[in-house]
C-alpha cells in the first residue's frame, strides 16, 4: 500500500482521468489526511476501518474509490452507503454527483423516510449504480423486493457511532447479513465504542485502519458569523451584506472556476469593483488581479480554494464563504486570509439547511461558536447609505475649494427664485440617482420591523440592476384589494417559441416554483425572466426554457440538485400535459417517519 506521507496531490493516487478532472474543477488540491489514508487501500480492494470526525473530507475518501471502480454498463446497485439521517444521505448523494460529473450515464439515488415511495420505486426500476440511504428505508425496500443487493461490491457505513446512538445498529447488522459475502466494507466512525468494534470484527475481513486525530485551531482575531440560506437568493443576500458591511477588501469563496467568473460579473453589474481568481487564469493574470487588490483598484475577489492558496493581502478585512467548503481544513485556510498584521478580521458563512452538520464540524474545529447573522433590512441599507453620503459631504467641505460652486448656487437661486435648500435637495438627488438614499426596491411588510429574526417569514427582495435576475412568480393566487378574497391569476399558455422540459422532482418532494427558478438561474446562468411556465405534479415538474439553450448549458443543468434530488432534466416529447393534472393535489402527502 502507498505510504500516505508520499501523497502530495490527487494525481499521486490511482484515480481515473475523469475523476481527477472533476477534482480539479471542484478545487481540491491536496488530499486530506483521511483521504490519503483511505483511498489507496479501498482502491486495492481492502476493507477499511476509518476513524475521523465530520468535516475531515471522509465522503471523498470512500466516494472516489467507489466511482473509480463503478461499471456504468451494469444498471444495478453496486455500492450502498448507509447514513444515520436523511440530511447526510442527501449531502453524500450530492457529493457523489459532483465527483461523477464526467462519468457518463452514472446514476445515484438517495432513499430515506419522508420521501414519496413512488419516486424511489421509479428510479430503482430505471436502474441506479449507487444507493445512499438511511437504514430503515433501505430495509423497507429490501423486504419489499424492490432493492436487491445481489450485485453489490462495496458497502459503506458512514458515521456508524451516530447510527448506534439513534438505535439503528440492529438494522445495520441485518443489512450487512443480507449483503453478498465477498463485498468490500468501509466503516467510518468518529468514535469506536465496543459495539461498533464488534460489528467491525464480525463483518470486516482483515481491515486496514485509518485513524485521524481531530485537530482544533483557534481563530480569536476573526469574528465569525453565518447566515442560514432560506427565503432569499444568495446573490441578493450577498448584495445586502455588501451594502452595510464596512469592508476594505473582501475575498469571496465559491466552489468552481465557472462560479468565480459568473459571480464577479454579477457583482460588477451591481456597481462593485470585483474580479475573479481561479486556476484557469494564466499566472500573469492571477498576479495582476492580486496586484490590483493590493493597490486598491479592486475591492472584491471571487476565488476558488486552489487559486487563493498563499494569498497574502493585508487589506482583506472580510472573507465570505458563499459556498460552504467541503471540509473544516479548507474553511480554516479560507478565513486565514483575513485578520492579518494584527487587524481584526471578519468571516461570513452561507449555510443551507442540509449543511448544518458541516457548520457544527467547523465550530468544533475552530473551538469557536459561530453566531447567526440576520440580513440587513431596507431600513438598515437606507441608514447606511445616508451615513456614507453625510461623510462624503463633510469630507468634500473640508478638502475641496468650493467658492465657485457657492457662487453658482447663489446665482441659480436668484435667477430662478429658488431657496438654497431646494437646490441642495435637487443636487443630492442627482448625486445619488444611481444609488438612492432610500432603496427603491419593494419589501414585504415583515421586512420593516422583524429585525431579520424570522427568515422563513420573509419574502425579501434586494435592489436588482440586472432585471433578469428577478424570478417570476408562478401559479400563485393573489388577494384582491377588496374584502381579502383570493382571486386566481389566469394560467399562462405554454410558449410555443420555447421548449418544454421535464425534471424529476415534484409536489411529493415539497418543491415550489421559486426553488426551481432559483436553482436553474443560479446553476445554469439562465435568467429568471427567461424561465417559462412551471407546472408541478406529484412526482415531476415541467418547465419552459428558451429554445436556443447551448448544449453546454444543458449538460451543466444535468448536475443540478433540487430538494436534494438530481433533477435529471429531459426534453418533454408530445403535447404539454394538461393543467388540471398539475392541480390534482393541493398539499404534499404527510411525511413518513424514518
**Residues 531-569: tens digit of each pLDDT:** 888 888 878 889 988 877 887 788 778 778 887 788 888
Exposed, middle or buried, 295 (CB in 10 Å: 0-12/13-18/19+)?
exposed
Find out whether 246 and 388 touch, Cβ atoms under 8 Å.
Answer: no
CATH 3.30.365.10, domain 222-372, yes or no: no
Give the global pTM: 0.51
pLDDT confidence of residue 384: 75
Given pLDDT bands bounded at 50, 70 and 90, which one contains residue 438?
A: confident
CATH 2.40.30.10, domain 4-211, yes or no: no
Per-residue pLDDT tens over the stretch 325-361:
888 888 888 898 888 766 788 999 999 888 888 899 8
Q: Which residue has the cell 448523494?
A: 93
Give the C-alpha separation, 408 to 413, whole Å: 9
Give the three-state DSSP class for 223.
Answer: strand
Fold: same for 4-211 and 222-372: yes
Per-residue pLDDT tens over the stretch 258-270:
899 999 999 988 8
Residue 391 φ then ψ, to 5°: -60, -40
Q: Give me 407's grid cell.
A: 457662487
Q: Which residues contact 122 (CB under 8 A, 6 or more apart)?
A: 539
Percent of the chain with pLDDT over 70: 83
Between 3.30.70.330, 3.40.50.1000, 3.40.50.720, 3.10.129.10, what CATH number should domain 467-582 receive?
Answer: 3.30.70.330
Domain boundaries, the chain: 4-211, 222-372, 378-431, 467-582
Find out whether 118 and 508 touch, Cβ atoms under 8 Å.
Answer: yes
Indicate the length of the chain as a whole number. Answer: 594
CA distances from 66 to 23, 72, 89, 95, 165 (A): 15, 12, 16, 12, 27
Least confident of 262-266, 423-427, 527-531: 527-531
Per-residue pLDDT tens over the stretch 198-243:
999 999 999 999 988 765 555 677 899 999 987 678 998 898 898 8
Per-residue pLDDT tens over the stretch 455-464:
333 333 333 3
Q: Which residues contact 364 (CB under 8 A, 6 or more apart)?
A: 53, 55, 214, 216, 328
Q: What's the chain's average pLDDT?
A: 80
Amino acid at each position: 500500500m502507498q505510504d500516505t506521507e508520499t501523497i502530495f496531490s490527487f494525481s499521486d493516487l490511482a484515480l481515473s482521468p475523469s475523476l481527477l478532472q472533476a477534482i480539479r474543477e471542484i478545487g481540491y488540491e491536496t488530499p486530506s489526511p483521511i483521504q490519503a489514508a483511505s483511498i489507496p487501500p479501498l482502491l486495492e480492494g481492502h476493507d477499511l476501518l476509518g476513524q475521523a470526525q465530520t468535516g475531515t473530507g471522509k465522503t471523498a475518501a470512500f466516494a472516489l474509490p467507489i466511482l473509480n471502480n463503478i461499471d456504468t454498463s451494469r444498471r444495478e446497485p453496486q455500492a450502498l452507503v448507509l447514513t444515520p439521517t436523511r440530511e447526510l444521505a442527501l449531502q453524500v448523494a450530492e457529493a457523489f454527483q459532483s465527483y461523477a460529473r464526467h462519468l457518463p450515464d452514472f446514476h445515484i439515488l438517495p432513499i430515506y423516510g419522508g420521501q414519496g415511495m413512488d419516486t424511489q420505486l421509479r428510479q430503482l426500476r430505471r436502474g441506479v449504480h449507487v444507493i445512499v440511504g438511511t437504514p430503515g428505508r433501505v430495509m423497507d425496500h429490501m423486504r419489499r423486493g424492490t432493492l436487491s443487493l445481489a450485485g453489490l461490491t462495496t458497502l459503506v457505513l458512514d458515521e456508524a457511532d451516530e447510527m448506534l446512538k439513534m438505535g439503528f445498529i440492529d438494522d445495520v447488522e441485518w443489512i450487512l447479513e443480507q449483503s453478498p459475502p465477498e463485498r468490500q466494507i468501509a466503516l467510518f466512525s468518529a468514535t469506536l465504542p465496543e459495539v461498533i468494534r464488534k460489528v467491525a470484527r464480525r463483518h470486516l475481513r482483515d481491515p486496514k485502519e485509518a485513524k485521524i486525530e481531530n485537530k482544533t485551531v483557534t481563530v480569536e482575531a476573526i469574528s465569525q458569523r453565518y447566515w442560514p440560506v432560506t427565503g432569499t437568493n444568495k446573490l441578493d443576500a450577498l448584495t445586502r451584506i455588501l451594502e452595510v458591511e464596512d469592508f476594505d477588501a473582501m475575498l469571496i469563496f465559491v466552489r468552481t472556476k465557472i462560479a468565480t467568473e459568473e459571480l464577479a460579473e454579477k457583482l460588477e453589474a451591481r456597481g462593485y469593483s470585483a474580479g475573479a481568481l481561479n486556476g484557469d487564469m494564466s499566472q500573469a493574470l492571477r498576479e495582476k488581479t492580486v496586484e490590483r487588490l493590493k493597490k486598491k483598484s479592486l475591492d472584491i475577489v471571487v476565488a476558488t480554494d486552489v487559486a487563493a492558496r498563499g494569498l497574502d493581502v493585508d487589506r482583506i478585512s472580510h472573507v465570505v464563504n458563499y459556498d460552504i467548503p467541503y471540509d473544516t481544513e479548507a474553511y480554516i485556510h479560507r478565513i486565514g486570509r483575513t485578520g492579518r498584521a494584527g487587524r481584526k478580521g471578519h468571516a461570513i458563512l452561507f449555510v443551507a439547511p442540509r449543511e448544518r452538520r458541516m457548520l457544527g464540524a467547523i465550530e468544533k474545529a475552530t473551538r469557536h461558536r459561530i453566531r447567526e447573522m440576520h440580513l440587513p433590512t431596507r431600513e438598515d441599507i437606507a441608514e447606511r447609505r445616508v451615513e456614507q453620503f453625510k461623510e462624503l459631504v463633510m469630507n468634500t467641505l473640508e478638502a475641496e475649494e468650493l467658492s465657485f460652486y457657492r457662487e453658482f448656487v447663489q446665482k441659480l437661486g436668484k435667477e430662478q427664485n429658488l431657496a438654497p435648500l431646494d437646490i441642495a435637495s435637487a443636487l443630492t438627488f442627482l448625486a445619488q440617482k444611481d444609488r438612492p438614499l432610500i432603496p427603491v426596491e419593494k419589501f414585504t411588510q415583515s421586512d420593516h420591523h422583524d429585525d431579520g429574526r424570522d427568515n422563513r417569514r420573509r419574502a425579501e427582495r434586494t435592489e436588482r440592476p440586472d432585471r433578469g435576475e428577478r424570478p417570476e412568480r408562478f401559479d400563485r393566487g393573489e388577494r384582491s384589494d377588496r374584502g381579502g378574497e383570493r382571486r386566481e391569476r389566469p394560467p399562462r399558455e405554454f410558449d410555443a417559441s420555447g421548449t418544454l422540459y421535464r425534471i424529476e422532482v415534484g409536489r411529493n418532494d415539497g418543491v415550489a416554483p421559486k426553488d426551481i427558478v432559483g436553482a436553474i438561474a443560479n446553476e445554469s446562468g439562465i435568467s429568471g425572466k427567461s424561465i417559462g411556465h412551471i407546472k408541478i405534479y406529484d412526482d415531476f415538474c415541467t418547465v419552459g426554457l428558451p429554445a436556443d439553450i447551448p448544449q453546454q448549458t444543458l449538460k451543466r443543468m444535468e448536475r443540478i440538485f433540487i430538494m436534494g434530488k438530481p433533477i435529471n432534466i429531459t426534453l418533454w416529447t408530445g403535447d404539454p400535459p394538461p393543467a388540471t393534472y398539475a392541480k390534482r393535489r393541493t398539499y404534499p402527502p404527510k411525511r413518513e417517519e424514518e
